[in-house]
Structure 1
Amino acid sequence: MSLLPLISCNKSGWPDGPRRQQESDMMRNSRSDMMKRTMVVGALALLLGACSSVPKELAYEPENQLVAYQPALGGMEGKPARWSGVISAVHNKADQSVIEVVYLPLKSNGVPEQTEQSPGRFLAIMKGFVDPTLYAKGRSLTVLGTLGQPVDSQIGEHKYRFSVLNVTGSKLWPPVKEVEVRYMDPYFYDPFYDPFWPRRPLRR
């Protein structure tokens, strides 16, 4: 009687045991890879959704047509824009309200960045009356609208040309404590201007 163990073979002559083990390992690895890919795709979807989720009143498509902020921006009347910043003043007129805003850069979700510097200001024109108590000085604001013609005015005794945005949608945010404003005078160029020279911050 033979002492060799009985080993079942398939038609090709190879033992069934190692082949079955190999097939089992391949199936297990395949399931593991599929789960990993599913988790990665899900995480990316959540991340992209969080990054692009702006309030509905600020939504605009396609976003690549939105005009970026520039001081004294002219020649772009009627173009769409979405800007944000900190309210500096509110002027209520007979049929509209003019909100003076210290510009701050936008995050991808529409919230103003908490920076300590600003390239300038703009005027947000809203139809009707807005309550200065709600749109108070220091309140963060993001507005969506179309560009109007720049307006020449003053900040204190300083002549200033404001970019203008006719508002179609807006969102108020928690206030920002302090913003430093470096004004760009559209009527004057100083070749000796040093952008890194310290300036006093604007306090409210």
Structure 2
Amino acid sequence: MRFTSRTLLLGLAAWLLSACGTVPRELAYEPESALVPFAPGLSQPGAMARWSGVIAAVHNEPARSVIEVVVLPLKSNGVPLQTEQSPGRFLAIMPGFVDPALYAKGRSLSVLGQVAAPVDGKIGEHPYRFAVLDSAKSKLWPPVKEVEVRYVDPFFHDPFYDPYWPRRPLLPLPR
């Protein structure tokens, strides 16, 4: 079999692009097809799942932490996709203490774990049935930085344009 430079280049490009779509080590699970997707009325306790979203609240208890997460869909690399729609919320149960300053409201979180029985709770005064995920592994994603984008009209660029020219004398006026 003879390898040409074109075949080698295509293989290298495919290998590099596949690295962009892989799930981080802490969220990896085999087989991927066995993972249960999020559904609001989920009743499959014991199944493995990888869910992701934005943290809404953190409640620390003596032996565990309960993190309320607004579900967002996962990208192919495990990062939550920032959208305006959510199918619901789930509670991520983590052993030990979780610092609320690090796991702050609005941060993205992905959790791999076992589905537990749903729990009744409240969002404000509204009763809500939360899906529960006992966390085996989790990934707290870096904060999303907002970037201000300013639009400059490319057709109005004039290097000699000075809006103050008629009102600003070039030399001081005599008194």
Same topology, TM > 0.5: yes
When the two structures are superposed, what TM-score results if normalisation uses the length of structure 1?
Answer: 0.67
Tell me the equivalent position of 2:25: 56
SS at match of 1:116: coil
Output aligned runs, 1:2-17, within 5 Å. Answer: none
Tell me the equivalent position of 1:70: 39
CA distance in 2, matches of 1:171, 1:138: 14
User: Percent identity, aligned pairs only?
Assistant: 65
Listed one character per residue, the Cα deviations across residues 122-181 of structure 1 (whole Å, up to 9, x for unaligned) are 00000111111111111111111010000011111111101100001111113469xxxx
Listed one character per residue, the Cα deviations across residues 15-50 of structure 1 (whole Å, up to 9, x for unaligned) are xxxxxxxxxxxxxxxx8x811111112211221222
Tell me the equivalent position of 2:11: 41
Of 100, 106, 109, the match for 1:141: 109
SS at match of 1:149: strand
Alignment check: 8 A CA contact 1:58 1:171 kept: yes
1:137 is aligned with what amino acid? K
CA distance in 2, matches of 1:148, 1:131: 23
When the two structures are superposed, what TM-score results if normalisation uses the length of structure 2?
Answer: 0.78
Tell me the equivalent position of 1:85: 53
The structure with the greater share of residues assigned to helix is 1
Aligned residues: 145
Output aligned runs, 1:108-147, within 5 Å. Answer: 108-147=76-115
Gaps spanning 5+ residues in structure 1: where?
Answer: 1-30, 178-204
**4+ runs deviating over 2 angstroms:** 174-177
CA distance in 2, matches of 1:167, 1:151: 16
State whether structure 2 residue 58 is matched by structure 1 residue 95.
no
Aligned-pair RMSD on alpha carbons? 1.8
Of 173, 188, 198, the match for 2:141: 173
SS at match of 2:17: helix
CA distance in 2, matches of 1:175, 1:84: 15
Listed one character per residue, the Cα deviations across residues 51-103 of structure 1 (whole Å, up to 9, x for unaligned) are 12x221111111111110111311x1111111110000011111111000000
2:47 is aligned with what amino acid? K
Structure 1 window deviating more from structure 2 (168-177 vs 141-150): it is 168-177
Structure 1 window deviating more from structure 2 (55-64 vs 98-107): it is 55-64
Of 138, 152, 177, the match for 2:120: 152
Considering only CA atoms, is the larger Rg found in Structure 1 or Structure 2? 1
CA distance in 1, matches of 2:98, 2:72: 21
